Amino acid sequence: MMTSALITGHPLGSKANARYALLTMSRIRKFEEAVEDLFGRGMVHGTMHLSIGQEASPTGVCMALNITDQITSTHRGHGHCIAKGADLTRMVAELLGKEIGYGGGRGGSMHIADVETGNLGANGIVAGGIPIAVGAALASQMMNKGTVAVSFFGDGAMNEGAFHEAANLAAIWKLPVILACENNKYGMSSSIELAFAIDHLSERGLAYGIPGVTLDGNDVSAVYEATEVAVKRARAGEGPTLLEFVTYRWKGHSRSDKNLYRTKEEIDEWKKKDPILYFEHVVREKALLTDAEIAEIHKLATDQVIAAVNEAMKAAPADPAGLLDAVFKKVSA
């Protein structure tokens, strides 16, 4: 079983928490590296959007959630999936077009959802998941579930009408939702400088009466702390929060990206702010984990990803025979 039990709590709250936070970030990194490798070998179809360099935000956010809390995710969604507790084998299997994949090979990377861990799905449509998270929060409120919904989205998504309409609904109905913007500086090739006339994207919360916070999205502890405040506020019935996690995407937007819109120096500069190395530095300083333990955690992550790839490779390919029956859920008699 590839799913490790979810831990809720501060990444620095205990040795177990620190271990879990590092393992989660490492699993995301190794998973993405494996996907890139499979892609390079022509084994994965379509395109891919990797979240290398952005591992802290999904990890920190999900450590502030319970398994029953819900998320909506994006085209760059592998990290969200893993941090919420998805099974690595079923994720790889989906990318390989296998029957045991999360979507039975029908959805691929951009459409992985995991009902058991409250993941309502990645999305191929920029900003498509934001109103959906607001709706999940509405259901929670109407049904007194006590759960919160988090919508992950990119900086680019904040210029879609869907963001604005959803933010306003969340605010006027005081919904238990967190708008989690992963500002990695670019929406494909368009920099935030070109796409926005404001300094901090979190300022947009003001327009809707939603508290907005900008913070270091590569510091998993800071991400956790801001999310924890937002979760408390949501569960107390006080409404939504807009969080802006400033981070950076190391790899191209997708397979076809030639990185013409940014410099190598800029990329190298951000690689120095590696969220994983930074967290290792903090846990060493606080004597929560030793070098040997850190190495062992990375090895475990690597082993888990390799095992997932091997298992997924062996699985049966998705069968076209079932397609027509897959469109509608059967109406129960």
Ligand X SMILES: Cc1ncc(C[n+]2csc(CCOP(=O)(O)OP(=O)(O)O)c2C)c(N)n1
Q: Which residues between 124 and 163 bind Mg ion (CB under 5 A)? A: 154-156
Q: Which is nearer to ligand X, 101 or 129 (CB)?
A: 129
Q: Which of the choices Mg ion, ligand X, other proteins, none does residue 159 contact, using the CB cut-off of 5 to 8 A by kind?
A: other proteins
For position 207 contacting other proteins by CB under 8 A, the verdict is no
Task: Write out the binding residues for ligand X, residues 226-265 only, by CB under 6 A.
Answer: 249, 253
Among 3, 4, 8, 47, contact with other proteins (rule: CB under 8 A): 47
Question: x-or-dash pattern for Mg ion, window 182-221, by CB under 5 A?
Answer: --x--x----------------------------------
Contact 127, 179 (CB under 8 A): no
Quickly tell me which residue has 């959803």 as its tokens: 166
b vs e for 101-136, b when ≥16 Cβ sit within 10 Å of the residue's Cβ?
A: bbbbbebbbbbbbbeebbbbbbbbebbbbbbbbbbb
Bridge partners of 150? 71, 178
Closest approach, Cβ 262 to Mg ion, in A, equals 12
Identify what 76 binds: Mg ion, ligand X, other proteins, none; CB under 5 to 8 Å per kind. Answer: ligand X
**Residues in Cβ contact with 329 at an 8 Å cutoff, skipping those fewer than 6 apart:** none
CB atoms within 10 A of CB 68: 12
Among 16, 5, 24, residue whose Cα is nearest residue 223: 24
Binding mask 184-203 for ligand X (x = CB under 6 A): x-xxx---------------
253: tokens are 């937007």
Distance CA 302, CA 255 (A): 23
The contact set with other proteins (CB under 8 A) reads: 45-47, 94, 97-98, 103, 105-108, 110-111, 123-128, 156-157, 159-162, 187-190, 194-196, 256-258, 260-261, 317-318, 320, 323-324, 326-327
The contact set with ligand X (CB under 6 A) reads: 75-76, 124-126, 153-157, 184, 186-188, 249, 253
